Amino acid sequence: MSGKSIDHAFTATESLGAAADPTYAGALSFMRRRFSKDVAGTDVAVWGVPFDSAVSNRPGARFGPQALRRASVIFDNDPQYPFDRDLFAALAVVDYGDCLLDYRLPETAHAKIRAEAADLLAKTGFLLTLGGDHSITYPLLQAHAERHGKLSLVQFDAHQDTWPVAVAADGSARVDHGSFVKQAVADGLIDPATSIQLGIRTHAPETCGIEILGGEAVEEMTSAEIAARIYERTGGTNVYLTFDIDCLDAAFAPGTGTPVAGGPSSARMLAVLRHLKNLQFVGADVVEVSPPYDHADVTAIAGSTVAMYVLGILAEKKAG
């Protein structure tokens, strides 16, 4: 055991380098990254947002960040496939922990998420958020648009999330996980002309001008063809990536609040992500993992792998 360590999340002294924890033990940060509230000078801060008070069906996504961290320990100290490298040799990543939200006042959550995300973005290069229900993407888009301007949204999802936004008693918009895209378009946070949704298998009243690659189209196209459509649509603009785990077929992601049959496999969507290494990503999230409905961590493993691919793309860019 010479040279080995454990609890790398607490014992690490810097943000670079692989951990040496046994897969079955040790502190459960995301991919064993050092826990730190100091993100200054880091390339990436991984951040959990345990919020699921805006779901329309099954709750449980508040436990998503915990599950994604737990599942990520399967990425032990070997070079990560398919990137064939230690992702943290040059990419400085910390796990910032979770956003503290008052469960008694869910209506205050989005403002808190937006403020904390904006603070993090002022100090780190990239924010990778673990959700949480899909409504959290709305305040995340607010924070990212404040920093980068209007964004292109690349959304992997079974749902368009463009349903009408309800109005609260005080006249404010009540954004939930099925309406956040519509509100983001209305607020000018995203440009629908350069945004695209992939894997959609439900109908909403309107598209808001966003291009849709539905479940049948995704099934018939190769991963390279899907990626080419994404490149064509986004056209070199700043891209925010949001991956709702229910984009995947329920066979590959049973642990989610609103599962939809007929979706793509995790292998297909990961292959698409692998092709997107030249997109100008400015932020990303993985949402809607609901562990109470999961089996053997199938959904959490898929979600953590999506997040790992995001880090892999960033690591490749950092390495040149």
Q: What is the DSSP string of 120-161?
A: HHTTSS-EEEEES-GGGHHHHHHHHHHHH-SBEEEEE-SS--
Residue 134 annotated as lining a ligand binding site:
yes
pLDDT band for position 17 (50/70/90)? confident
DSSP secondary structure code for residue 234 in this structure: H
Torsion-angle region of residue 3: left (phi > 0), alpha (psi -120 to 50) or beta?
left
State whether the Cα torsion 118-123-127-133 is positive or negative: negative
Residue 249 marked as a ligand binder: no
- What length does the chain have? 320
Domains and CATH numbers, the chain: 8-319 (3.40.800.10)
Q: Report the candidate in 176, 184, 139 with the shortest Cα–Cα distance to residue 61.
A: 176
| 157 belongs to an annotated ligand binding site | yes
Which pair of structure tokens corresponds to residue 299? 């959904």
Whether 275 has a binding-site annotation, put simply, is no
The structure tokens listed for 95 are 């796990």
The pLDDT tens digits of the residues spanning 76-88 come to 777 999 999 999 9
Q: Which residues contact 271 (CB under 8 A, 6 or more apart)?
A: 223
* Separation of alpha carbons 107 and 39, rounded Å: 28
Tens of pLDDT along 166-194?
A: 777 676 777 878 779 999 999 999 999 99
Model pLDDT for residues 271-284, shown as the tens digit of each residue: 999 999 999 999 99
Cα 258 to Cα 8, 45, 178: the distances in Å are: 35, 28, 10
285 in a known ligand binding site: no
The answer to the question of whether 159 is labelled as a binding residue is: yes
